[in-house]
Amino acid sequence: SKTVITFGTFDVFHIGHLNILQRASTLGGRLVVGISSDALNIEKKQRAPVYSQQERMAIVSQIKGVSEVFLEESLEAKAGYLRQYQAQILVMGDDWKGRFDHFSDLCEVVYFARTPSVSTTSIIEVVKAI
C-alpha cells in the first residue's frame, strides 16, 4: 500500500484541515504530515502561529488516518522529505496548484480543492471581533 505525504502549518486546527487529512488518508495506507515549524512561518508569513509547533504536531498526530508527523523546517527541503519518507503521493490543497508539479519525477502530485470559507486567518478575525 502507498505512502502519502502532505505539508502544512495546521494552525488553529479547523474543518478545512480535517477534510484534507481525511481525503489524503484515503489515497494510501500510510499518511505522513510535515508540520511547518514556527521559524518557517515567521520567515515566510511574518507571523508566529497561534499554536506552537509542538502543539500543532500533537494535534495533527492524533487525527484519525495520520500515521506520522514530522517538523518541516525548510520549504527547500521538500524533495529530501519526499525521499526520506519514501512518499508515493504528495497531496496539497489547490491554493498550491501547480507549485509542486516539479516533484512528479519523485511521486504522484495531487491537489485537492480547499474547503470553502474557512481559514486560520478568518477564524482569528472572527475571534478578534468578539
Chain residue whose CB lies nearest ligand C2G: 93
The nearest distance, CB 98 to ligand C2G, in angstroms, is 13
Residue 7 Cβ vs ligand C2G, minimum distance, rounded to whole Å: 4
Member of 9, 25, 37, 53 binding ligand C2G (CB under 6 A) = 9
Name which position in 2, 50, 70, 114 contacts ligand C2G (CB under 6 A): 114
Measured between alpha carbons, how far is 66 from 77 in angstroms, rounded to an integer?
A: 21
Q: Within a 10 A sphere around the Cβ of 51, how many other Cβ atoms?
A: 18
CA 97, 17, 85, 76 torsion: positive or negative? positive
Decide if 60 contacts 33 (C-beta within 8 A): yes
CB contact at 8 A, 85 and 104: no
Total binding residues for ligand C2G by CB under 6 A?
18
- The upper half-sphere exposure of residue 119, i.e. CA atoms within 13 Å in the direction of its Cβ, equals 8
Instruction: Report 35-74 residues binding ligand C2G (CB under 6 A).
Output: 36, 72
Among the residue ranges 5-13, 60-68, 81-89, 101-109, the one whose residues contact ligand C2G (CB under 6 A): 5-13
Residue with cell 505522513: 32
**Footprint on this chain of ligand C2G (rule: CB under 6 A):** 7-11, 16-17, 20, 36, 72, 75, 92-93, 95, 114-115, 118-119
